[in-house]
Amino acid sequence: NAGVMQNPRHLVRRRGQEARLRCSPMKGHSHVYWYRQLPEEGLKFMVYLQKENIIDESGMPKERFSAEFPKEGPSILRIQQVVRGDSAAYFCASSQAARGTDTQYFGPGTRLTVL
C-alpha cells in the first residue's frame, strides 16, 4: 500500500546551506501540495503542483523557496540559504484530481532543523 512518501524524514542543516525535500505522491495521484507546520502553529499551504507545472504558489515565500514536479521523479521543495526560522515540519499531500472535493492524503513529513 504505497502511500505518499517523503524523504528524508529528518534533515539538519546549518544556516546558509540548502535543503532539498522530496515527495512521491500516492500511486495514481498527479496533484501535489506542500504545507509547512511551524512549531506550535497550524498547517499553512505553500504550493500546489501538477506534473511539470506550478499551479498555485501563493503561499510560498518569494525568496529562497522553490518547488518543482518533473515529468519523471518526485516533487522537490528546495530551500536555499536556510535560516533558523525555516525550522519546521514540511508535509506533502497528494490527490487524484483537483476537484475541491478530492481528498488530500498526507505523507509522513520532513522535519527540518536549522542550526
Partner 1 sequence: QKEVEQNSGPLSVPEGAIASLNCTYSDRVSQSFFWYRQYSGKSPELIMSIYSNGDKEDGRFTAQLNKASQYVSLLIRDSQPSDSATYLCAVTSGSARQLTFGSGTQLTVLP
Choose between 17 and 113: whose C-beta lies nearer to partner 1: 113
Choose between 33 and 69: whose C-beta lies nearer to partner 1: 33
Beta-carbon contacts of residue 100 (< 8 Å; ≥ 6 apart): none
Contacts to partner 1 by CB under 8 A? 31, 33, 35, 41-45, 48, 55-56, 59, 91, 93, 95, 98-109
CB of 81 to partner 1, least distance (A): 26
Is residue 107 within 8 A of residue 6, CB to CB? The reply is: yes
Give Cα 53 to chain centroid, integer Å: 15
CB of 50 to partner 1, least distance (A): 10
Is residue 104 within 8 A of residue 93, CB to CB? The reply is: yes
Residue 96, helix vs strand vs coil? coil
Choose between 45 and 68: whose C-beta lies nearer to partner 1: 45
